[in-house]
Amino acid sequence: MKISVYIGTSLDGFIARPDGDIDWLMAADTSGGSDDYGYKEFSDSVDCMIMGRNTFEKVLNFPEWPYEGKRLVVLSRTLKTIPAELEDNVALYSGPITELVKQLENEGCQRLYIDGGKTIQSFLNEGLITDLNITRVPVVLGEGLSLFGKTKQDIQLKHIATTTFENGFVQSIYDVVNEV
């Protein structure tokens, strides 16, 4: 099973401002084009998304729910309910992530999409991430929430491809070669 990250960062490696705001990311694409940077193709290949509570709460504030029809698991020890309109596709989970991955694999999932800084860091530290798609946005924030926090050990990556876009976005794809 593939366990994938698909995320945008500032040039200095932040996924959000210190308060979690992603206004810089939402305003970043000034190309005027309709390029989704491969997101739809990636999303179509995903069986289930996994994100943390903070990311979930951020997404709940979007004008429209961006994951219509997509199964989503929210990792949280504090969140107790899901909005009624999302109950068919969104579940809460508070156990070990290794057990969740085993459960989803046993259910036939072939690709998981991991989102949210702390969640990505947890999956990386458990050696569960198989590949990363990181799009660097041409903005320097100076501070914020880092994509990669402290790791248990070096995480070796194999570069697969890099694509540049007219608006200055640089997207690189990596496979993780050493798992914990």
User: Which residue range(s) make up the domain with 132?
Assistant: 2-176
Q: If DSSP states are collapsed to H, E and C, what string results for the chain?
A: CEEEEEEEEECCCEEECCCCCCHHHHCCCCCCCCCCCCHHHHHHCCCEEEEEHHHHHHHHCCCCCCCCCCEEEEECCCCCCCCHHHCCCEEEECCCHHHHHHHHHHCCCCEEEEECHHHHHHHHHCCCCCEEEEEEECCCCCCCEECCCCCCCCCCEEEEEEEECCCCCEEEEEEECCCC
Query: Any idea what the CATH number is for the domain that residue 125 is in?
Result: 3.40.430.10
Give pLDDT, residue 30: 56
Residues of the chain with pLDDT > 90: what percent?
77
What are the tokens at 170? Answer: 């640089």
More confident residue, 34 or 25: 25
pLDDT surpassing 90 at residue 69: no
Arithmetic mean of pLDDT, 112-140: 96
Return d(Cα 11, Cα 174) in angstroms, integer: 17
Of the pLDDT bands very low, low, confident and very high (cuts 50, 70, 90), residue 150 is: confident
- Give the pLDDT confidence of 87-111 residue by residue, as tens digits: 999 999 999 999 999 999 999 999 9
Contact of 13 with 146, CB cutoff 8 Å:
yes
Residue 179 pLDDT exceeds 80: no
Q: Cα separation of 111 and 100, whole Å? A: 13
Number of domains in the chain: 1
Residue 164 has pLDDT above 70, yes or no: yes
Instruction: Give the Cα separation of 119 and 129 in Å (integer).
Output: 11
Decide: pTM greater than 0.85: yes
In this predicted structure, the answer to whether residue 29 has a pLDDT above a threshold of 70 is no
